[in-house]
Structure 1
Amino acid sequence: MTHKIVVVYQSLLGIYGDRGNAMVLVKRLVWRGIDAELIMVEPGDPVPDDGLIYLLGGGEDWAQIAAVKALEEDRGLHRGLDAGGVLFAVCAGYQLCGHSFTVGDNDEVFAGLGLLDVETRRGDQRAVGEILTQWTKPDGSMSLITGFENHGGFTELGSDATPLAKVVVGVGNGSDGFDGALQDQVVAAYPHGPILPRNPELADYLLERALGVQLDRLPRPDVNAEHDQLRAERIRIVRTTKNRAEQTR
């Protein structure tokens, strides 16, 4: 069986290189001897309803509106989630999964896909810069998530959605001190980077959630060592920058 990793509407929701998230998922499956393929779907193409993981990336206001319209008409993503697939949504992709989001200078409200119990409204100022969050993994252990955020919308979670991670440096959802949301088959977050190359543990979490099995550590010591070194450097830099900023206040 070949597992499908489906990038949904990159022409609309792909301005931050979020396709890299899908490439990482495919590689981490193949390196473990699990057959996988990358599927690219654009508006007008049917979204396959047998995907293992679907990905929605970042995009502009008009792109969010167009993506919601096309996805509601197609319904393939909805069927895929009902069948057990997992959706990973980043930034604009995260926002359009909620009940509603605003766009434009007049903050016009548009209906989202309703896959997450969240609402997004424009904040007082744009969140731009490195973000570092603390994620509590399913086994109760802690892991840091590193990335880059660039969004004007702030997201409020309802009672059916759970935050993904607690913000250490940055903005995330907004006033709640958290970033992202979890609900049913949907995992969402604000950071780009792309986020999954920066955070291999999060990539494996998505794979485990979709496959329904626990994966052993990647059998590639060279790749693991490089990931660990890069992560440590990014985390050190963002923490150092935060400390310097606090000292100059």
Structure 2
Amino acid sequence: MNEPVKIVVVYQSLLGIYGDHGNGTVLTKRLVWRGIDAELVTVEPGRPVPDDGAVYLLGGGEDLAQIAAVRELKADGGLFRALDRGAVLFAVCAGYQICGRSFTVGDHDEVMEGLGLLDVTTRRGPRRAVGEILTRWERPDGSTSLITGFENHGGYTTLGPDARPFAQVELGVGNCGDGTEGAVQGRVIGSYPHGPNLPRNPALADHLLELALGTELGPLPNARISAELDELRRQRIAVARHSRNLAEDTRWLGERE
């Protein structure tokens, strides 16, 4: 009998203030809907991070939570062992930042060492990035898919030569206003959008699962669920684009005044 596919949410109490636990829920559901046994595990600080998971998830949090998470993860070592054996890590916002080489915290922008899983650095930006974000992600097969979400971050992230952008920004700030969003390095993906991200973007959820399992999953067997998800995506993309047009109109009126 095959073991269930293990989806691991890491340190929900530290890095889960934006509902990012939903990323774990949707990954588990999309496996179960296909008849694949899956197990959702939430690991809190002080408990060992299992090294036999398929996909690991880090979410958003505040400065002190970032510091605590880095300290705990380095001391535990389970996440590093899991990645060494081929697991996938999807990290959102603060989780994305701590995966880098360094990030800053506090009013004095103290530089903290990250986990070193992504060749990125994060520093305080000139303005906080808040609002709907819409990006275009190039899938492994060369096709593209829109990624919708909500960004809320004061840190701006720049990529080094070993990481590549995850997506290109159509609406929003993304990494640092340079037109890129997120970073990919090996089987580690960092991205800023909340929402949670994966329920809003089913193609990305399936990509993470396929990357972890090493096989193509194919469409969901339930056509009704697929149709409902497609309609929700259509509405979210429309709202994001409307928000952009509204912001542009408001700026134009301000210039006229």
- TM-score normalized by structure 1? 0.99
SS at match of 1:25: helix
Q: CA deviation at 1:175?
A: 3.0
Instruction: Verify the 8 A CA contact 2:132 2:243 in the aligned structure 1.
Output: no
Correspondent of 1:174 among 156, 173, 176: 176
Provide the C-alpha distance between the structure 2 equivalents of 1:244 and 1:8, rounded to a whole number of angstroms: 37
User: What is the match of residue 201 of structure 1?
Assistant: 203
- Residue 237 of structure 2: aligned partner: 235
**C-alpha distance after superposition, 1:214-246 (max 9, x if no partner):** 111111111111111011011111112212332
Identify the residue that residue 93 of structure 1 maps to in structure 2: 95
* 2:133 aligned residue: 131
User: How many angstroms apart in 1 are the aligned matches of 2:247 and 2:16?
Assistant: 32
* Contact 2:97 2:157 (C-alpha < 8 Å) held by counterparts: yes
Distance 1:241 1:182 in 2: 28
State the partner residue of 2:255. Answer: none
TM-score calculated relative to the size of structure 2? 0.96
Task: Provide the secondary structure at the position in 1 that maps to 2:75.
Answer: helix
Instruction: Give 1:33 shift.
Output: 1.1
Bigger CA drift: 102-111 or 215-224? 215-224
Q: 1:94-109, aligned counterparts within 5 Å?
A: 94-109=96-111
User: Could you tell me which of 116, 121, 124 is aligned with 1:122?
Assistant: 124
Query: SS state of the match for residue 223, structure 1?
Result: helix
Fraction of identical pairs, as percent: 69
Give 1:188 deviation, angstroms: 1.0
What are the superposed Cα offsets for residues 130-160 of structure 1, whole Å, 9 maximum, x if unpaired?
0000011111111000000000000000001
SS at match of 1:145: strand
SS at match of 2:112: strand
Structure-2 separation of matches of 1:219 and 1:158 = 41
- The Cα shift of 1:16 comes to 0.3
Structure 1 stretches of 5 or more lacking a match?
none
Query: Could you tell me how far apart the structure 1 residues matched to 2:6 and 2:229 are?
Result: 24
Q: Per the alignment, in what secondary structure is the counterpart of residue 130 of structure 1?
A: strand
Alignment of structure 1 residues 20-31 onto 2, 5 Å: 20-31=22-33
- Between the aligned partners of 1:115 and 1:92, the Cα distance in structure 2 is 14
Distance 1:175 1:159 in 2: 18
What is the CA–CA distance in structure 1 between the aligned matches of 2:142 and 2:75, rounded to whole Å? Answer: 39
Aligned structure 1 segments of 4 or more residues deviating by more than 4 angstroms: none
Aligned to 1:60: 62
Q: Tell me how large the CA RMSD over aligned residues is.
A: 0.7
Aligned amino acid, residue 109 of structure 1? V
Supply the AA of the counterpart residue of 2:152. N
Q: Distance in 2 between matches of 1:80 and 1:240?
A: 42
SS in 1 for 2:34: coil
Q: How many residues align?
A: 249
Give 2:154's aligned amino acid: G
Q: Is contact 2:125-2:156 (8 Å) kept?
A: yes
What's the offset of the Cα at 1:73? 0.2
Quote the Cα distance in structure 2 between the aligned partners of 1:78 and 1:222: 39
What is the deviation of 1:37? 0.4
Deviations 1:95-127 (A, max 9, x none): 000000000010000000000000000001100
1:14 match: secondary structure: coil
TM-fit CA distance, 1:70: 0.2
Matched residue, 2:162: 160
Counterparts in 2 of 1:220-231, with a 5 A limit?
220-231=222-233
In structure 2, the residue matched to 1:3 is 5
